[in-house]
Amino acid sequence: MSRVKRVVQVLAVAAPLAVPCSPLVAQVPETSSSVTVNCNAAGRNLQDALNTAPAGASIAVTGRCAAGPYLINKDVKLSGYGEAILSTASGSNHVLQLRGVKTDIAGLTVDATGANSGIIVDGSRAYISNIVVENASGAGIVVGGSGFASVHGSTVRNNGIGIFVVDSSSLGVGSSTIEQNLNFGIFVYKVSSAFIVNSAIRNGNGVGVAIDHLSHATLDSSVVQANAGNGVRVGQLYATLTLNAAVNTLQNNSPDVSCGDRGVIEVAAPQNSATKTTSIAPSIMTSQLGCSVIGGPIFAP
């Protein structure tokens, strides 16, 4: 079974369309409860702390927490200090799962070596900042079950898929780097959406950004370059890409943009730089790509 199919099976619950992306802000209500976990100390277990902490608690973790998979099923804040690494036993489905919660996660490395996924956001709202997610055979981050994730100031690398958004879910990515993921940097699928701003999807992703099955993605002031396959692939079944703001750079991909039948590319601003040296009119783009282009041109000299 392919890596993409394995990840699709992780979250297969259809649900109504999630709310639009919003800025990264602390969302868990403050309480006076705080817990510190040093996973390098004998007898300290992160899951025990997650189980016993009250809703709204702040949990600070350091060291290598290798006893995953971990589950968060209440509204808490999880943050790392010093060297904080979450990992799990080989053969696990994931390192960290958020189930039906509103959670802030910051300052961690999620090393998913031997696991299918790094973080699963399952019907939850996750505000993720300053983390590294790497080495998952499937997806570094899965957002499903009408969930929402905001990923800010983070790096997602060396996974089968960097971030997989599925089943009426939403993703916001800001000031982040998505790179060296085998199949896709970001894959938006099954009535889902992604807003990508001030970010780089680059350096050897199989496809930089893929959109399919009634899904939508917006690029705003971002760079998609040096990916092994398409920079952006707009699939069939009414997938839509919006190119927003003054400059999006799409270059050195193979090709920079591809578009399937019934796909749509909307150009909110025409100054999207690429390796092209001349503007390409919407009518030419339509004939070349096989889909509708609205508002062009896509590439400016």
Return the minimum-mean-pLDDT range out of 110-119, 176-185, 196-205, 267-276: 267-276
Other C-beta atoms within 10 Å of 173: how many? 32
Is 25 part of a structural domain of the chain?
no
**Sheet of 94-99: strands edge to edge?**
70-72, 94-99, 117-122, 139-144, 161-165, 184-189, 207-212, 232-234, 257-259
pLDDT tens-digit readout, 172-224 = 999 999 999 999 999 999 999 999 999 999 999 999 999 999 999 999 989 99
Is 59 part of a structural domain of the chain?
no
Residue 249: pLDDT over 90: no
Is 175 part of a structural domain of the chain?
yes
Q: Give the mean pLDDT of 7-17.
A: 36
CA 212 vs. chain centroid, Å, equals 15
Residue 39: pLDDT over 60: yes
Average pLDDT across the chain, whole number: 84
CATH of the domain at 121: 2.160.20.20
Total domains present in the chain: 1
Is 49 part of a structural domain of the chain?
no
pLDDT at 292: 75
Tell me the pTM. Answer: 0.86
Is 134 part of a structural domain of the chain?
yes
Domain range for 210 is: 65-72+80-294
Give the angle 253-155-115 at the CA atoms, nearest 5°: 100
Is the Cβ–Cβ distance between 204 and 179 less than 8 Å? yes
